[in-house]
Structure 1
Amino acid sequence: MQTYKISINDAKKLFTQLNCDKGGINILSKKAKLHTLYIKQMHVGAANILKQDALSIGADLAVPTGVITAKEKYVDGILLGTTKHFELLARKELAQPFGLKDLAKSLKEYIKENNYKTKIMGVLNANEDSFFKDSRFCSKQASQKIESMIEDGANIIDIGAVSSRPGSLPVEPKVELERLKDIVDTIYENKYYEKVDFSIDSYEPLVIDYVLNKGFKIVNDITGLANDEVCKISASYNAQVVIMHMQNDPKVMQENPEYENIILDLDAYFKNQIQKAKSFGINDIVLDVGIGFGKTLEHNLTLLNDLEHFKHFGYELLIGASRKSMIDMITPSSIEQRLPGTLAIHLESIKNGASIIRCHDVKEHHQAIKVQEAINSIN
């Protein structure tokens, strides 16, 4: 008899290779993946009930000392268990008091499987102050660059005319549109939108309305739908909307950003903005945690490591860490030297749940992602 350790990243494939019973594969898969879920401000009664229910099925709830004697009325906790455990608890807690019914619904959403194909969003900038000069293009160069990006494997091309790098200043909407107009018209006239989806990196209603009328399908809003007019216009065109998180604005966002708990703070933010989007009739939503937008290096690393948490909303997750300064903080490097670090972050993000990768280097990402997919297909 021989034993060796295996990766359980794709349990279903491994169980299939063993020729397990088809009905049992789904059951086994649910037992193979471990989840950790932070629960904030539980009633102490809920904590005690959930602790006992979790232990009874082989899961567990980490709680502060003193919960058993109800020392504090409300406590935080960390629930640990497999997909199967969460599935059982989602049923058990439906009949329990102290807010556990709502928790049961959250658990059900958290373990819902949403498997999206990985897409590459290539970056094309029509401004002179974008932090990476190789992503800047004028209207005359746009056609050649767009065709090149499509050939290199882009699924989406994200076009912007205003820099959002730390310290950057806003631009008048008319100036932004003037920078974009020739490129957008070229896309429309050549029907490039039939070959690839186009996204507008803007939060200005004037700009968004113009491009959506010219074949663009996605609104990439770094303000996360702060402007009601953007909501109205996006809904009228039935556009997909990227809701990104940013603390403050680009001018001051990196001046000592602070969070009580970055995962929970962003979770609450996304919950509110999703509700807002739906109230305007927007249902095609993508979430972006906003790497580098009002975050320290530790904040960014925490978000990347715990990215899977945000899958419970049921929407695609976008990550854009292309050549950002967090790489320089880890290993000193110029913007032009950060492609390896970018690929490392983005490949790890895919493993943790991201399905849209926003990047400057489409060809290199396409190759890296295809190799990653080939490795994973063996499991």
Structure 2
Amino acid sequence: MKLYKLSSQMDAKALLQTVGVTHEGSALLIPKTHLNLIYIKDLKTPAANILKQDALSIGADLAVPKDTITCKVPLVDAVLIANDKQLKELAHKEKIQPFGLKEVAQKLSEFTFTCKDDFSVMGIINTNEDSFFQGSRFKDEAALKHVEHMIEEGATMIDLGGVSSRPGSIGVSEQEELSRVKPIIDLIFKHKLFEKAQFSLDSYSPLCLEYALTHGFSIVNDITALANDDVARVTAKYDATVILMHMQGDPKSMQHEPVYDNVMLEVDAFFEERIAKALHFGIKKIVLDVGIGFGKNLEHNLQLLKHHEHFLHFGYPLLIGASRKSMIDKIISTPIDERLPGTLALHLKAYEHGASIIRAHDVKAHVQALSVLQALNQTTI
């Protein structure tokens, strides 16, 4: 007899099929293979005691401060440790409990999701001269050739921008922005490239977005997350997909000492509000972007990437966009044109934690890296 330890990243379904487990047996076992660690903030102390006992009764556990049982303080933070099966059972149990546990039950039920392993690479192209990465700037026919090249390399989405949103940047008028992006939009439309990939406009200008959406574009990449009602109306009018990105402040000042009490909870609350607004305006297709580098310091960015899977509870695809950003330089001093390795490390981690759309300058490298990682994750014994 011989034993060896398997990676927790393995495809549980494929693994069980390899050893000959029946379909019915797999359905029972798969929810037991994924461990969840869920941080619960400001839980009422009586609720914590009830939740701990209920968790223990089904084989899960709740880590709490040592004085929780005496109820010396009204609120405590806790960490729930449970697999998917236990999470579902616990959510059912807490539906009838007092002290705010009904709300906990609702939240727990949202976390019973499965990460998908498919991915889309969104290539980046900019028309403005002040975009932070020079390698993404193109005009006229050169822009068309670059778009075609990215599609050939495996990009299934292309994101076009005409105004820089790098830290310290200043916006321009809608007319100026349209004058920058219109020639490329017209070329994409003329050559029907929208039949080969989805096109996104990185803009919060209703004027520019309406022009793009009537010329083959189908995605609104709004760094202000529908702050402007007119953007919401245009998006709904053309049944476009909206990318809702979190940003603290604005590009001009966002990196001036950003502060959060809890970045995960504050980004989560922001998404909840903006998703509700999108739905109110009749927008059906939504993508979420935590906004790496948009009003966040290095620690905020690292937390959002490490716990990226959390935001899947909303039920929408997640986009990650950390391509060549300054957080890499803050970890290890590196000029912009040498940040591809760091970019790949960040994006592969985000992919493993739920991101399915990867916004990147370097399409070919990302398609290759993600394809290899996908193959590794799908490999059985």
**TM-score, normalization by structure 1:** 0.97
Letter in 1 for 2:7: S
Listed one character per residue, the Cα deviations across residues 133-185 of structure 1 (whole Å, up to 9, x for unaligned) are 01001022122111111100001000000001111111111100110111111
* Cα drift, residue 316 of structure 1: 0.5
Checking the alignment, whether the CA contact within 8 Å between 2:204 and 2:223 is kept in structure 1 is yes
Partner of 1:7: 7
| CA distance, structure 1, for counterparts of residue 202 and residue 351 of structure 2 | 22
Partner of 1:377: 378
Partner of 1:78: 79
| CA distance, structure 1, for counterparts of residue 345 and residue 48 of structure 2 | 39
Structure 1 residue matching 2:95: 3-state secondary structure: helix
Partner of 2:91: 90
Matched, 1:218 2:219: yes
Change (3 A) 1:377 1:114: closer
Structure 2 residue matching 1:86: 3-state secondary structure: helix
Letter in 2 for 1:131: F
Partner of 1:342: 343
* Cα drift, residue 116 of structure 1: 5.9
| CA distance, structure 2, for counterparts of residue 51 and residue 192 of structure 1 | 56
- Can you give the 5+ residue segments of structure 1 that lack an aligned partner in the other structure? none
Letter in 1 for 2:183: D
Checking the alignment, whether the CA contact within 8 Å between 1:87 and 1:111 is kept in structure 2 is yes
Q: How does 1:159-308 map to 2 (within 5 A)?
A: 159-308=160-309
* Cα drift, residue 265 of structure 1: 1.1
* Cα drift, residue 72 of structure 1: 2.4
| CA distance, structure 2, for counterparts of residue 325 and residue 244 of structure 1 | 18
* Cα drift, residue 205 of structure 1: 1.0
Letter in 2 for 1:123: I
Listed one character per residue, the Cα deviations across residues 15-36 of structure 1 (whole Å, up to 9, x for unaligned) are 1111112111122111111111
Structure 1 residue matching 2:177: 3-state secondary structure: helix
Letter in 1 for 2:28: I
Listed one character per residue, the Cα deviations across residues 258-302 of structure 1 (whole Å, up to 9, x for unaligned) are 111111111111111111111111121111011111111111111
| CA distance, structure 2, for counterparts of residue 35 and residue 316 of structure 1 | 20
* Cα drift, residue 89 of structure 1: 0.6
Partner of 1:316: 317
Partner of 1:19: 20
| CA distance, structure 1, for counterparts of residue 230 and residue 112 of structure 2 | 34
Letter in 2 for 1:297: L
**TM-score, normalization by structure 2:** 0.97
Matched, 1:102 2:103: yes
Structure 1 residue matching 2:69: 3-state secondary structure: coil
Listed one character per residue, the Cα deviations across residues 77-121 of structure 1 (whole Å, up to 9, x for unaligned) are 221111111010111111112222222222122112352620000
* Cα drift, residue 372 of structure 1: 1.3
Task: State the identity as a percent.
Answer: 54
* Cα drift, residue 73 of structure 1: 2.4
| CA distance, structure 1, for counterparts of residue 279 and residue 115 of structure 2 | 20
| CA distance, structure 2, for counterparts of residue 55 and residue 171 of structure 1 | 58
- Can you give the 5+ residue segments of structure 2 that lack an aligned partner in the other structure? none
